[in-house]
A and B are shown apart, each in its own frame.
Chain A
Amino acid sequence: MMEMDPVLMSRLLTALTLGFHIIFATLGVGVPLMISIAEFIGIKKKDPHYLMLARRWARGFVITVAIGVVTGTAIGLQLSLLWPNFMQIAGNVISLPLFMEVFAFFFEAIFLGIYLYTWDRFKKPYTHWLLSLPVIIGGGLSAVFITTVNAFMNTPEGFTTGASGFAQINPIDAMLNPATPTKVFHVLSSAYVTVAAILATIAAFSLLKKKTSEYHKKALKLTVTLTFIFALLTALAGDFSAKFLAEHQPEKLAAAEWHFETEEGADLILFGWLNDDDVPAGAIRLPGLLSFLAHGDFTSEVTGLAEFPEEERPPLWIHYMFDLMVVIGMYLAAISLVYLFISKVKKWNEHNKWMLRLLVLTGPLAMLAIEFGWIFAEEGRQPWILRGYMTVEEAATSSPHVGLMFILFLGLYTLLGVLCIVILRRMFRNSPAEEELEKKYPVIEKGDNE
């Protein structure tokens, strides 16, 4: 293991850390918004159910945020440890958004501490609610800034190349590179939909376990509604992203869709496999849809992979990542729409077993879609680390010990992941929401449980 290629091992270790971190980073961006919405509704409607919802979500959030912070620190350092040559050059440009990200994180950390420890400290309940806003803003802004870094790596701009690396650097232009708007939109909306779906999963799961209390029903209604709204926004963001790719990174879109020859009226290919001559087989073909996805016109021309030299093409297996991401996104929108529709019709019971089972799936699937989407985005710009300027090979460390570090970090993340689940289960299993509500609001709760 120690003797393995440092480039490959650096890639694997980065993928491992990021793959683990984005689970908690996504929660970190989305959960504060959901807590804030629940608390706001609770205060406005004077409904203790929503206040309890906000409290319990916040309590679980502390555990996930801790893991988010420490894995975020890990990736922050690993950027320099594993890719020293990349940071030496690109650090000149991307240090600005990295720096801003840390400020946003700082801001969030301060107010998160305040928010979590001042539940009953203020006379007006809205004062405490106001403290959730800086947490949402801080979390959102960190996502925005770090996404601009990733966007820069996809479409580098804001500098000229001189004899010794970059010259005439304009860090603002680099931040506002062409990939930034669509990436930021997609990252934020998908984080919000994923967290809404995960919280919906929890509510649906509790209802399936026969805890048919008002608390869980309200939780489900709120979270599924939010899932629907953010799923629509994410679909819109996805559409923008595809149009961006067609214009600025056509090789990524072409690899995702196994679109080899440039042609007009290109088909969208769902799943399937490639035969020996690299011809898609067994796939569902949606005529003209790729052209529509790329340019908003069913007959437009879409650049094929054959236009690019072989050594600059991304791997073709990213097709599956792309398909899985999109299909899950569709599922989230569809299932939440069905739930909302059923709940509007008085005669039907939106809490039937099958509906709940389908809703339980949404959270885990959404998180998988986040992973698939990132794998697609990152693998889709291979072999580049800085598209058009620096390959991954040139950027990696020369240290021979990366293999050993991979094993150490794998152990660490396994431990953290297992403990996170164990502790969250223990936290909530021992104190059901109904009991907690009765303890805290003895008058209102009488006779509320069905």
Chain B
Amino acid sequence: MSYEIIGITVLWIFLYGYVIVASVDFGAGFFAYYAKITKKDHIINQLISRYLSPVWEVTNVFFVFFFVGIVGFFPDSAYYYGTALLVPASIAIILLAIRGSFYAFENYGSKQSNVYMFLYGATGLLIPASLSTALTMSEGGFIVERDGVVSLEYLELFTSPYSWSVVFLAIVSVLFISATFLTFYAARANDTEALKLVRKYALFWATPTIVASLTTFIALGEHNHRHYSNMMDLWWVFGLSVGFFMIALGLIYAEKYYGLAFISVMLQFFFAFFGYGASHLPYILDPYITIYENATHESTGIALIVVFIAGLCLLIPSLILLMKLFLFDADYVKGKK
């Protein structure tokens, strides 16, 4: 395997990791605020903050990892995306900054504040929407280079059915992933009241998730034929994704094996995400950046991969320790520690 393929695979794995952990976080923020305005906050907020407090900072690193990695492996992406995305990415940074710091302010610093809660909930939906547009742009047609000047075609972007269906898909997926995770976490905590509530959320957001996946699929067909036909060749990967979705839904509906249900949701998104990614290749930004022509020098690429392996040897045991202490320690989850 060439170092370019290894590089993009590694980055894609991390982006997938970010999608999962960030979805739990973003969705939880929204649910916490929703519960507050429907006066059900006493039921689930304790649960949410017990999980999120030790891990929110780790979530952020997944994201940093991805964008540092993509610029490292494919420096030309800094040139194209960096120039075109100044405004939207700056707005995303500001949203992330508000969210991250306000989470700390709210949970460790002050008494409950409605303003913080609102901002925390609202950014939980706005951030996935704004970040997902970077994926939209990678399909081409939105970032244009003319006479050596790179610019973003805002009008194209805001009038494209594809870009809106991606935004919609991002938001509902976040809510679905988060709700299924919270269902699992509430079940572990033996918190029946919270479980009833979040299970309802999970069942509710399942339908829009699968509908949005379909519409995005169709809209992509209109926007980028090459990518669409590549996806068609990988039809079985998307079939697996739908299969795991059905399993997850069935388990949650039957009120058992919530852990397995959440794993199924992770697999559902794993296959969809990797099917999408694999069919996107060799382009990173259609038609300007491909993984072969625009990769970094071989020596740097190999050094990055070596560091990556060394880093994983350090990270995986640490992450397991973190999960053991806060996710799989029944006493902690129940609030006894």
Contact = CB atoms under 8 A, between A and B. Distances in A.
Interface of A: 59, 62-63, 65-67, 69-74, 76-85, 87-89, 91-93, 95-96, 98-103, 105-107, 109-114, 116-118, 121, 134, 166-172, 397-399, 401-402, 404-405, 408-409, 412, 416, 419-420, 423-424, 426-427
B97 A88 contact: no
Contacts of A427: 108-109
Contact of A121 (B150, B307, B337): B337
Nearest to A412: B94
A77 B311 contact: no
Contact of B89 (A65, A81, A95): A81
Given A76-B67, A92-B75, A103-B311, A416 B304 contact: no
A339 B178 CA distance: 55
A293 B90 CA distance: 43
Interface of B: 53-55, 57-58, 60-61, 63-65, 67-69, 71-73, 75-76, 78-83, 85-87, 89-91, 93-94, 96-98, 100-101, 103-105, 108-110, 149-150, 296-297, 299-300, 303-304, 307-308, 311, 314-315, 318-319, 321-322, 325-326, 337
B105 A419 contact: yes
Given A62-B108, A91-B75, A426-B109, A114 B322 contact: yes
A71 to B, nearest CB: 7
A27 to B, nearest CB: 14
B108 A84 contact: no
Contacts, number: 209
Given A398-B83, A423-B109, A423-B110, A71 B97 contact: yes
A103 B325 CA distance: 21
Contacts of A89: 75
A88 B93 contact: no
- Which 4 residue pairs across A and B have the least CB separation, nearest first? A95-B72, A66-B104, A91-B75, A84-B82
Contacts of B109: 63, 423-424, 426-427
B60 A69 contact: yes
Contacts of B68: 76, 95, 98-99, 101-102
A95 B300 contact: yes
Q: DSSP class of B's interface residues: helix, strand, loop or mixed?
A: helix
Nearest to B66: A102
B163 to A, nearest CB: 20
A73 B64 contact: yes
B103 A66 contact: yes
Given A66-B103, A87-B71, A172 B82 contact: no
28 contacts: A63-B105, A69-B100, A72-B64, A73-B100, A84-B78, A85-B79, A87-B78, A88-B76, A88-B78, A89-B75, A91-B71, A91-B75, A92-B296, A96-B72, A99-B308, A105-B64, A106-B65, A109-B57, A114-B325, A121-B325, A121-B337, A170-B299, A171-B303, A397-B83, A409-B90, A412-B97, A423-B109, A427-B108
Given A66-B103, A91-B72, 17 more contacts: A59-B108, A84-B150, A87-B71, A89-B75, A95-B68, A96-B72, A96-B300, A99-B308, A107-B315, A109-B57, A110-B318, A114-B321, A117-B326, A172-B303, A401-B87, A405-B87, A419-B105
A30 B206 CA distance: 46
A114 B54 contact: yes
A106 B93 CA distance: 19
